[in-house]
């Protein structure tokens, strides 16, 4: 192990300061009493109160959450199927096209995805609203889910499935009783990824949404285009807070589980014959 040189220490502290200072400043200013976002006028939580009285924001938040739950659930089902096909189905007609369609949306500029989906919806005469946003979000986030799940499936010991079949399972049973419980963490993180992608998305939602279905990012975007607003600061703080709690909890739980597993294994080896 090499020592941490002064150069490493400096680049780490500057780097993390760069990553976190803007968000910390945003959070601090959300508690600013002044309407002028750049002048500190004492601590206050009034912007949070304003936020919760703002019907338009609350409506948009509700639409966003509904869209995110629906689209991430569909995306998880379709994405897991796609991952299984990619890793397990072997050769079939059109496999190259299939894997191309899985990977392409990951690097596709959002403006193009959004535009093309909108033209489709108009072409088939589908009214833009919650349904179209869910369809659009499902399409691009299923690709992310399938990447997450397939990277887990690649390392999955295939003999577990064979053992299940050997012990009398049909292929469906072996998926339900063995594969799914084991890859569940990857499926769950795929769902969470799809959920956040849907919560965050501005560009595709702007193309796919109608006047009656404004999502929170669209609302935020139209508000901040006019400049910095303390209400948006408050909203951002809440969102950052939720994500931070989620990510920190998840990583602590993962670490605990890993440590426990290691201890169990060591204990078992010591206690072995």
Partner 1 sequence: MRRFILISVPYAWLLALFLVPFAIVIKISLSDTVIAIPPYAPTLDLAGGWAGIVEFFQGVDFETFEFLTSDDLYWKAYLSSLKIAVIATAITLAVGYPIAYGMTRVAPEWRPTLLMLVILPFWTSFLIRVYAWMGILGQDGLINQALLWLGVIDQPLTILNTPTAVYIGIVYTYLPFMILPIYSALEKLDDSLLEAAEDLGCSRFTAFWLVTWPLSRNGIIAGSFLVFIPTLGEFVIPSLLGGSKTLMIGKVLWEEFFSNRDWPVASAVAVILLLILIIPIILFQRNEQKQREAEG
Partner 2 sequence: MAQVAAQKPVFAPWDDPKQAPLIQFKNVTKRFGDFVAIDDMTIDIYEREFFALLGPSGCGKTTMMRMLAGFERPTEGQILLGGQDIDAIPPNKRSVNMMFQSYALFPHLSVWENIAFGLKRQKLPKEQIDERVNEMLRLTRLSKFAKRKPHQISGGQRQRVALARSLARAPKLLLLDEPLGALDKKLRQETQFELMDIQEKTGTTFVIVTHDQEEAMTVASRVAVMDEGVMVQVDTPAKIYEAPNSVYVADFIGDVNIIEGRAKQISDQVNIAWAEGQPSIFKGPFWISHILATYRPTMSGCHQVKPSRRRPLIRGVYRAEISLGKTKCGCHSRQPLASA
What number of H helices and E strands is found in the chain?
A: 12, 0
Minimum CB separation of residue 152 from partner 2 in Å reads: 13
Identify residues 93-152 at the interface with partner 1 (CB under 8 A).
94, 98, 101-105, 107, 109-112, 115-117, 119-120, 122-123, 135-136, 138-139, 142, 146
The Cα–Cα gap between 62 and 60 comes to 5
Q: Which long-range contacts (CB under 8 A, 24 or more apart) does 35-42 make?
A: 35/230, 37/228, 37/229, 37/230, 37/233, 38/228
- Which span (60-68, 102-110, 134-142, 166-174) binds partner 2, by CB under 8 A? 166-174
Q: Which does 168 bind (CB under 5 to 8 A by kind): partner 1, partner 2, none?
A: partner 2
Tell me the CA distances in angstroms from 272 to 56, 261, 264, 265, 267, one per residue in order.
64, 16, 12, 10, 8
Token look-up 């349904």 returns 131
Q: Is 170 in the site for partner 2 (CB under 8 A)?
A: yes
Binds partner 2 (CB under 8 A): choice among 63, 178, 186, 216: 178
Identify residues 49-88 at the interface with partner 1 (CB under 8 A).
78-79, 81-82, 84-85
The Cα–Cα gap between 250 and 211 comes to 37
Q: Is 208 in the site for partner 1 (CB under 8 A)?
A: no
The Cα–Cα gap between 136 and 206 comes to 11
Q: Is 254 in the site for partner 2 (CB under 8 A)?
A: no
The Cα–Cα gap between 208 and 110 comes to 12
Q: Is 149 in the site for partner 2 (CB under 8 A)?
A: no
- Which span (6-14, 28-36, 131-139, 162-170) binds partner 2, by CB under 8 A? 162-170
3-state secondary structure of 32: strand
Binds partner 2 (CB under 8 A): choice among 75, 102, 164, 232: 164
Q: Is 94 in the site for partner 2 (CB under 8 A)?
A: no
Q: Which does 226 bind (CB under 5 to 8 A by kind): partner 2, partner 1, none?
A: none
Q: Which does 261 bind (CB under 5 to 8 A by kind): partner 1, partner 2, none?
A: partner 2
Contact indicator for 80, 149 with CB cutoff of 8 Å: yes
Q: Which residues bind partner 2 (CB under 8 A)?
A: 157, 159-160, 162-170, 173, 177-178, 181-182, 261, 264-265, 267-269, 271-273
């Amino acid at each position: 192990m090499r020592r941490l040189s002064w150069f490493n220490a400096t680049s780490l502290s500057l780097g993390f300061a760069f990553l976190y200072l803007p968000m910390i400043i945003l959070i601090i200013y959300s508690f600013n009493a002044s309407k002028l976002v750049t002048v500190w006028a004492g601590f206050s939580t009034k912007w949070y109160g304003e936020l919760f009285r703002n019907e338009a924001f609350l409506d948009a938040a509700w639409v966003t959450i509904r869209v995110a739950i629906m689209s991430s659930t569909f995306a998880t089902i379709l994405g897991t199927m796609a991952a299984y096909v990619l890793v397990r189905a072997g050769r079939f007609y059109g496999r190259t096209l299939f894997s191309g369609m899985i990977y392409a949306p990951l690097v596709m500029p959002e403006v193009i995805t959004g535009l093309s989906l909108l033209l489709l919806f108009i072409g088939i005469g589908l009214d833009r609203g919650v349904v179209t946003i869910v369809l659009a979000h499902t399409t691009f986030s299923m690709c992310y889910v399938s990447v997450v799940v397939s990277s887990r499936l690649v390392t999955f010991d295939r003999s577990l499935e064979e053992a299940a079949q050997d012990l009398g399972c049909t292929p469906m049973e072996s998926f339900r009783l063995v594969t799914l419980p084991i890859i569940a963490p990857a499926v769950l993180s795929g769902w969470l990824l799809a959920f956040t992608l849907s919560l965050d998305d501005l560009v595709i939602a702007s193309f796919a949404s109608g006047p009656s279905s404004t999502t929170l990012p669209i609302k935020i975007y139209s508000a901040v285009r006019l400049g910095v607003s303390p209400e948006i600061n408050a909203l951002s703080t809440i969102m950052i807070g939720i994500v931070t709690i989620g990510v920190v909890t998840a990583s602590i739980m993962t670490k605990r589980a890993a440590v426990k597993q290691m201890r169990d294994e060591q204990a078992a080896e010591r206690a072995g014959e």
